[in-house]
Amino acid sequence: MTTDARQTLSNILAAGLDATAPAIVLAVYHRGQPVYEQACGHLDPETGRQPVRPDTLFDLASVTKLFTTTAFLMLLAEGRVALQGRVADVIPELTRYGPRPIEGGQNPHTLERLPAERPTDRRVDPGAITFFHLLTHTSGLAPWRDLFLNVGPTPPPPGQPDPLPHRARLEKALDLIAGYPFVDEPGQTVNYSDLGLILLGEAVRRLDGTETLAETIAVRVTGPLGLASTTFNPIDAARCAPTEFDARWRGRRCQGEVHDENAASLGGIAGHAGLFSTAAELARFGQQWLDAVRGRAPEWLPPAIAREATRRQAGDRGLGWTIRPQPCGECSAGERFSPASFGHTGFTGTSLWIDPERELVAALLTNRVYHGRDPAAITAFRPRVHDALCAWLDS
């Protein structure tokens, strides 16, 4: 990378510290090699005594979904599950309460119940949901519900014992999900659903026969790639970028515990959120996916499956991945990533984008929720970074 390109990126990251987040790390691979890494900001922005380092851990939020997806696709490659297989065949509790009505879900910020977009008297059979539906967010399940208020006591701070085990919390959550109304019939519309990925994570665990999803992902995904710092419930909370002060539920600033309330209520381990990682390790994970798509890692994931996962299946959804929208508009990948690009974002301010045409991988980690949940700053910041990377490569 040229000196001018590095300076441009440095200026953009520095500006992001004022407008977007107090902690930012960017790690970039190009043509299979790490070419850029920069950490900036502070873990304690009020005092400025703890600078962000390349090994700072960030709450990946929904970028966790990519690791759950990867574990599922590995099971698919082994013939342990079918893409069009019924989820209820692995999680029979899903049909416990029979067909359910169509309603409107719930606002995750206000907890307000929402009206149905297309009111109907029809009832939906949960047994019709397939794994394809979960991966493409076309299951008809509600995007979000307040599991965290209903699965057990508020979890303790990091390092303190939880009075309710993870398994008991998860079983209660599965029972609640089995009773919630749908927002549409399976296969009809794309409704990005955390509930669907919670189900996928539990299905992956059961299919693999492990005690927890954390064990499944460690054995199948992070362990083989040497991602030693990518983990649920990190041991060293002081190494983690703090996120939001949770005034609504926990009454403390989150540091070393997952920001997402539903994931936290499940003991910090869930298919939709909960992983922490460094920018360098997330970029390495992205490079492995790029290698798989290009057929350079067939022993990790067959290229046919990797390519199927990273092409449009429903709207802008692949299998677990987001495919760069056409036109991009406010897409987090920016205006210059190729149409074949695929990635994912996390609510805490994280993202991973991969451009197979440029052989470019960009892992951008921030803690943008430190000051609150207004998305305006991160919505503008991500495209600015990605456009600058492409400008360097295209110059």
pLDDT exceeds 90 at position 231: yes
Quickly list H helices, 190-278. 194-208, 213-217, 261-265
pLDDT exceeds 80 at position 160: yes
- Per-chain mean pLDDT for the chain: 96
Q: How many residues does the chain have?
A: 395
pLDDT exceeds 80 at position 241: yes
Please, which pLDDT band fits residue 394 given cuts at 50, 70 and 90? confident
pLDDT exceeds 80 at position 1: no
pLDDT tens column, 52-103: 999 999 999 999 999 999 999 999 999 999 999 999 999 999 999 999 999 9
pLDDT recorded at residue 118: 84
pLDDT recorded at residue 326: 81
Is the CA virtual torsion 279, 282, 284, 286 positive or negative?
negative
| 109 and 203 housed in the same domain | yes
Which residues span the domain enclosing 313? 3-56+278-394
| 327 and 381 housed in the same domain | yes
| 88 and 198 housed in the same domain | yes
Per-residue tokens: 1: 């990378």
pLDDT tens column, 321-376: 999 988 777 799 999 999 999 999 999 999 999 999 999 999 999 999 999 999 99
Decide which of 211, 239, 255 is a domain's last residue.
211
Per-residue tokens: 134: 């979960």
> Contact at 8 Å (CB) between 186 and 129?
yes
Quick one: DSSP state of residue 314?
A: B
Percent of the chain with pLDDT over 90: 94
| 192 and 288 housed in the same domain | no
Distance set, CA 114 to CA 103, 329, 333, 347 (Å): 8, 27, 30, 21
Distance set, CA 197 to CA 13, 68, 94, 136, 177 (Å): 32, 8, 14, 10, 12
CATH number, domain containing residue 368:
3.40.710.10
Quick one: DSSP state of residue 156?
A: P
| 256 in any annotated domain | no
| 287 and 366 housed in the same domain | yes
Please, which pLDDT band fits residue 181 given cuts at 50, 70 and 90? very high
pLDDT tens column, 199-225: 999 999 999 999 999 999 999 999 999
Decide which of 211, 227, 245 is a domain's last residue.
211
What's the mean pLDDT in 271-288? 98
